[in-house]
Structures are given as structure tokens and as C-alpha cells.
Amino acid sequence: MLKLEGKDELAKYNEAEEVSTVIENITARKLFNSRGEETLEIDISTVSGFGRASAPAGASRGKAEVISYPKGKVDLARRQVEELVAPELIGRNANEQEEIDLLLHEIDGTEDFRNLGGNTAYAVSLAVAEAAATSYGMPLFQHLAGYFADELPCPLGNVLGGGKHAGGKTPDIQEFLVLPINAESFSDAASANVLVHQRIGSLLRRKDASFTGGRGEEGAWAPNIKSEQALQIVAKACDEVSEELSVECRIGLDIAASTLWKQEEELYVYDREGIKRNSGEQLDFLLSLIWNHNLIYVEDPFHENDFESFAELADKARGCLISGDDLFATSKKRLTRGIEISAGNAIIIKTNQVGTLTDAWEATELARKASYVPIMSHRSGETTDTHLAHLSVALHCPIIKTGVMGGTRVAKINELIRIEEILGDRTKMAVLSL
């Protein structure tokens, strides 16, 4: 169950200060994410507090994820919040997070939230947690994890992109990432990522005078180059910034291999490069990238059902995080299968892949117990909601993947800077064990 480590203290505080977390009202509205797609925002009022949360959306969604919205999309989801969810939640206590999340499952009645929608469950669950936290005058991360939650994650930032997030003649690989691993503070790490992003822009303009500064959905540069050229530019920027700031900036990749996999051919098709690779050739290709560029992170290197290849790569690429997003889909069931054969050693945590905060917490705890690195992650279609920052701290994720540039990405980064200020001298940066 969710920790809520100070539950006894909160009960005493309730009596002394007459704080009430009883839910009085729920409002659902339709708004837009960073791609201009409709999404759902939920407001929840308690007697003493208020919570608001909005749902993100992915461009490349794994087949094992819950259904984002019911067949009637956001309009139906909004009506269902008013007609089905609100009557069940009003009058309940917002600090009963696990019970409320279980109730959302019961109202939906399916394994994949196809009736209510996973995004509906996500927004309601998170708004409930925020309403409880504000009722006590506490930041969300402390409400969920207690006073001793004091470790900030390392920011994993998308600085150059291709694939579904960029399109056109950009690289086949979806994301080229940077991860500062020895910064003294989160602010320093975030600054390093920004400088790498800026430096890559300068290097791209120097390489191609016709480069117009185009960016993909997550704010990463979207140039007309191939993957190997992109890696060389990112490596140069990382080397320069590492030397200037005395912060070690390492390179990561999100291959998004499920988008390259052609089931009918049983091949990975790299259209930009005009190359097709079978599973063995894909493994050799990835190992060469890891060794030649000293990669620290590779996400979704194989398609979402190839657990065995994930295991083989993790075994051969020691010292590099091999992370599953589409592979695991924040699912305890799929993660358990991966743990059994050591498929990878890291997992992307996207709460709306499973629906509720409790579901995401359980997957994160399972990962940590199996020595998998949990990575709290944004989605390509984001809102300016900042809860992701709090969840990364509350769920003890040593890495947060949340972009570098753009308002919806910077919102999370800036919130972590504020959390760093709240923690003050108690702040610690996560240490990665590779």
C-alpha cells in the first residue's frame, strides 16, 4: 500500500487543527495537451483542501497499457466522472488513497480501464492525493512518502530526436538523451542538460546552414541527419559541457523499437538509413552503440514482446541501464515476467499506463526489490501539471525522464528546483548503481 508514513501523526493533526479531508466536490473538464489533443483535468475539493490533476498522452503507446479513454473519448469520460465517480467519492476521505484507487477499479470493472479510461483514473487518483496533501498544508511528495523523503532524481533529458516524436527526415532512433550523473544539486544537473541542449543546437547550425531550428514534440532538436551523425554531435556537446561544468554528462537512447519492428518480416526497419535488421543484428548494432559511445542508458531496444533479447542485451552490456517502457508498461505482471529472466535492469514508470497512483507505486516497489532502477517518466503529449516531480521523489525514483526544453517539460524541472529549496540542507542527489 502507499506509505503515507505520517498517517498517525496526521490523525492527531486532524483533531488539533480541525482539518478535514472529506471530499466535497469533483469537477471534470476538457482541455488540451502539448500536441493540441483533448485531455481530461480533474478538480477535487475537500473540506480543508483542493487538488487538480490533468492526464498526459503518449504518441507511441505500448499494447499492454490500459485504455486511455472509453470509446466516447474525453466527452464521455467527463460525463462518467460526474455520473459514476463523483457519487461514489463524495463523502469519502481523500487520505484513503489505496481505498479510493481500488474503488476506481471496481467502478470500471475491467482489467484495462476500458470503461472509465486509464487517463480518467490517473487524473482522479492524483487529484485525490493532491487534495489530501493541501488539506494538511503539505507538499505532495511529503504527504505520500513522509518527512524523510529527501532524495532528488537525476534528470534524463531528450536533446535530439527522431522517430514518431519528430517525423520527416530525422533519425530513425526516437530519442537521444543526456543524463548528468555526478552533479552536486538538482539545479546543477538541470543546468547541465540545458547547456547540452543549447550546445547541440549550435553544433547543428554549424554542420548545416539550412537547419532552421526545428524541434520535436518534447522540445528536442529534430535535424535532417542520420542516427550515427546525431550520436557524434550529442557526444561532442556532452564532452564539452562535462569539461566546462565538471559534471559528467552521459548519453542515453530511446530506440522505441516497437515502432521499427515489422512483424510480417520479423525485422527492424530503419527507413532513414535504408537498413533492415533481424533480432541478432539488432543486438549486435546496439552493443556497438553502447561500447563505441559509452552509453549509460538504452530504452526499448527491442519490440515489446521480446523479453529474451532484453535479457541477453542486459547480460552483455554491463554498466548500461537497459530500460523497458513498452516492454513493461508499468505492469506488475509484465515486470514479474521480466524479473524472472533478468530482462533489462530498469523500468519506465508512467502512472497513466496502469491508471492509479497505487498501481504505479506497487510496480515501483516491485522493481526496487528486484534491483531494477525505476524511472519516473513524462509522456510526449504533456500538460503543465507538475505532479510528476513530486512522484519521482515520493516513489524514490533515482531518475526522472521529463525533457529539457518547452513549457510542459520545464514545469516539472522547475518544480523539482522548488522541492530542492523546500528540503534545503537535507537534500540528497540520487546515486546510480550500475
**Where in the sequence numbering do the catalytic residues fall?**
218, 350
Q: What is the C-alpha separation between 373 and 363, in angstroms, rounded?
A: 11
- Burial of 168 per CB tally in 10 Å (0-12, 13-18, 19+): exposed
Distance of CA 425 to the CA centre of its chain: 27
101 three-state secondary structure: helix
Q: Could you tell me if 248 and 181 are in contact, meaning their C-beta atoms sit under 8 angstroms apart?
A: yes
Distance of CA 136 to the CA centre of its chain: 27
Q: Could you tell me if 41 and 53 are in contact, meaning their C-beta atoms sit under 8 angstroms apart?
A: yes
Radius of gyration in angstroms for the set of CA atoms belonging to the chain, rounded to a whole number? 21
Torsion on CA atoms 299, 305, 311, 313, rounded to nearest 10: -50
- Burial of 273 per CB tally in 10 Å (0-12, 13-18, 19+): middle
Q: What is the C-alpha separation between 192 and 183, in angstroms, rounded?
A: 9
Across the strands, what pairs with 161? 175
Q: What is the C-alpha separation between 150 and 327, in angstroms, rounded?
A: 30
DSSP 381: B
Q: What is the C-alpha separation between 219 and 115, in angstroms, rounded?
A: 33
What is the H or E stretch that residue 223 is in?
none
Q: In what side-by-side order are the strands of the sheet with 38-46?
A: 23-32, 38-46, 50-54
- Burial of 205 per CB tally in 10 Å (0-12, 13-18, 19+): middle
